[in-house]
Amino acid sequence: MKADPVGVRTGTFYLDGDRAAAEGAIAAGCRFFAGYPITPSTECAEHISERFPEVGGIFIQMEDEIASITAIIGAAWGGARSMTVTSGPGVSLMMENIGLAAMLETPCVVANVQRGGPSTGLPTMVGQADVMQARWGSHGDYEIIAYSPQSPQEAFDFTVKAFNMAEKYRTPVMVLLDECVGHMVEKVVIPPADAIEVEPRRLTDAAKGEYLPYAYGDDLVPDMAEAGMGYRFHVTGLTHDERGYPEMSVRCQDWLVPRLVAKIRQSADDIVEFDEENADGADVVVVSYGISARVSRMAIDLAREEGIEVGFFRLRTIWPFPEKRIAELAKKIKAFVVVEINLGQIFYEVERCARGQCETLLSPHAGGGVHDPEDILKVIEKGAKAK
Amino acid sequence: MSPKGIPEAVIAAVSGEEHPIAPFLRMDRMPHIWCSTCGIGTTVKALAAAFEKLGTDLDKVAIVSGIGCTGRVAGYVRLDSFHTTHGRPIPFATGLKLANPELDVIVFSGDGDLVAIGGNHFIHAARRNMDIKVVCVNNFIYGMTGGQVAPTTPLTALTSTTPYGNAEPPFNLCHLAAACGANYVARWTALHVRRLTKAFTEILVKPGFCFVEIITPCSTLYARKNRLGTGLDIMKYYHDNTVIEHGADPAEADIVFGGPIICGKFVERDRPTWLEYQDQHLTERLGEKYFRAKALQEACER
Residues of chain A in contact with residue B100, where contact means CB-CB under 8 angstroms, are: 78-80, 226-228
**Average of per-residue pLDDT across A249-258:** 98
For A101, phi and psi rounded to 5 degrees?
A: -60, -40
Residue B289 neighbours by CB distance under 10 Å: 11
* B80 vs A62, A76, A227: nearest CB: A227
Are B152 and B283 in a shared domain?
no
> Residue A56 and residue B58: Cβ atoms within 8 Å?
no
Give me the pLDDT at residue B5, please: 65
> Residue B84 and residue A70: Cβ atoms within 8 Å?
yes
Give me the pLDDT at residue B6, please: 66
pLDDT digits (tens, 9 = 90+) for B24-74: 999 999 999 999 999 999 999 999 999 999 999 999 999 999 999 999 999
Give me the pLDDT at residue B294, please: 78
Q: What percentage of chain B has pLDDT greater than the value 90?
A: 89
Give me the pLDDT at residue B293, please: 83
Kindly report the CATH number assigned to the domain that includes residue A133.
3.40.50.970
pLDDT digits (tens, 9 = 90+) for B4-22: 566 666 666 666 678 888 9
For B264, phi and psi rounded to 5 degrees?
A: 140, 180
Give me the pLDDT at residue A376, please: 98
Task: Establish, for the pair of chains A and B, how many residue pairs have beta carbons separated by less than 8 Å.
Answer: 152
**Average of per-residue pLDDT across A56-79:** 98
User: In three state form, how does the secondary structure of A191-228 look?
Assistant: CCHHHCECCCCCECCCCCCCCCCCCCCCCCCCCECCCC
Specify the pTM: 0.96
Q: What is the DSSP string of A314-374?
A: EESEEES--HHHHHHHHTT-SEEEEE-SSSSSHHHHHHHHHTTSSEEEEE---SSSPPPHH
Q: How many Å apart are CA A26 and CA B248, to the nearest integer?
A: 48
Work out how many domains chain B is built from and give that number.
2
Kindly report the CATH number assigned to the domain that includes residue B143.
3.40.50.970
Are B242 and B295 in a shared domain?
no
Alpha helices in A230-280 (DSSP H): 250-265, 268-271
Q: Which of A30, A63, A105 is most worth mutating to test chain B (most B CB atoms within 10 A of its CB)?
A: A63
Provide the domain limits for residue B276.
Answer: 272-302
**Which residues is B108 bridged to in the sheet?**
B135
B102 touches A: beta carbon within 8 Å: yes
Provide the domain limits for residue A280.
Answer: 275-384
Are B256 and B299 in a shared domain?
no
**Average of per-residue pLDDT across B111-133:** 98
At residue A11, the 3 state secondary structure works out as strand
> Residue B74 and residue A236: Cβ atoms within 8 Å?
yes
Q: How many Å apart are CA A242 and CA A220, to the nearest integer?
A: 12
> Residue B99 and residue A6: Cβ atoms within 8 Å?
no
Are A294 and A185 in a shared domain?
no
Residues of chain B in contact with residue A75, where contact means CB-CB under 8 angstroms, are: 95-96, 98-99
pLDDT digits (tens, 9 = 90+) for A16-39: 999 999 999 999 999 999 999 999
pLDDT digits (tens, 9 = 90+) for A351-371: 999 999 999 999 999 999 999
Q: Which of A31, A70, A100, A226 is most worth mutating to test chain B (most B CB atoms within 10 A of its CB)?
A: A70
pLDDT digits (tens, 9 = 90+) for A110-131: 999 999 999 999 999 999 999 9
pLDDT digits (tens, 9 = 90+) for B279-300: 999 999 999 999 988 777 777 7
Give me the pLDDT at residue B282, please: 96
Q: How many Å apart are CA B8 and CA B36, to the nearest integer?
A: 17
What chain A residue is nearest to B62 in terms of C-alpha separation? A227
> Residue A100 and residue B84: Cβ atoms within 8 Å?
yes
Q: Does A99 have pLDDT greater than 90? A: yes
Give me the pLDDT at residue B11, please: 63
Q: How many Å apart are CA A127 and CA A342, to the nearest integer?
A: 7
> Residue B120 and residue A67: Cβ atoms within 8 Å?
yes
Q: Which of A9, A51, A58 is most worth mutating to test chain B (most B CB atoms within 10 A of its CB)?
A: A58
At residue A234, the 3 state secondary structure works out as strand
Q: Tell which residue, B127, B120, B179, has the closest CA to residue B151.
A: B120
Kindly report the CATH number assigned to the domain that includes residue A341.
3.40.50.920
Q: Does B2 have pLDDT greater than 60? A: no
Write the single-letter amino acid at A12: T
Are A43 and A172 in a shared domain?
yes
Confidence grade of residue B149 (pLDDT, cut at 50, 70, 90)? very high
At residue A28, the 3 state secondary structure works out as coil
At residue A284, the 3 state secondary structure works out as strand
Look at A60-64, A301-305, B15-19 and tell me which has the smallest mean pLDDT. Answer: B15-19
**Average of per-residue pLDDT across A265-294:** 97
Q: How many Å apart are CA A284 and CA A288, to the nearest integer?
A: 13
Q: Give the pairing type, strands B133-138 and B210-215.
A: parallel
Residues of chain B in contact with residue A32, where contact means CB-CB under 8 angstroms, are: 95, 98-99
Give me the pLDDT at residue B29, please: 93
What chain A residue is nearest to B82 in terms of C-alpha separation? A235
Residues of chain B in contact with residue A61, where contact means CB-CB under 8 angstroms, are: none
Q: Does A372 have pLDDT greater than 70? A: yes
Are B195 and B299 in a shared domain?
no
Q: Compute the nearest-CA separation of B251 from chain A (Å).
A: 25
For A334, phi and psi rounded to 5 degrees?
A: -85, -40
**Average of per-residue pLDDT across B115-141:** 98
Q: Does A195 have pLDDT greater than 80? A: yes
Residues of chain B in contact with residue A78, where contact means CB-CB under 8 angstroms, are: 95-100, 103
> Residue B92 and residue A74: Cβ atoms within 8 Å?
yes
Give me the pLDDT at residue B12, please: 63
**Average of per-residue pLDDT across A180-188:** 98
> Residue B91 and residue A79: Cβ atoms within 8 Å?
no
> Residue A74 and residue B85: Cβ atoms within 8 Å?
no
Q: What is the DSSP string of A48-72?
A: HHHHHHHHT-EEEE-SSHHHHHHHH
Where does a domain end: A195, A217, A235? A195
Are B115 and B232 in a shared domain?
yes
B184 within domain boundaries: yes
Q: Tell which residue, B174, B135, B138, B142, has the closest CA to residue B45.
A: B135
Are B245 and B280 in a shared domain?
no
Are A17 and A154 in a shared domain?
yes
Q: What is the DSSP string of A125-167?
A: EE--TTHHHHHH-SSSS---EEE--SSHHHHHHHHHHHHHHHH
Q: Does B1 have pLDDT greater than 50? A: no
Q: How many Å apart are CA B185 and CA B213, to the nearest integer?
A: 8
What is the DSSP-derived secondary structure letter of residue A76?
H
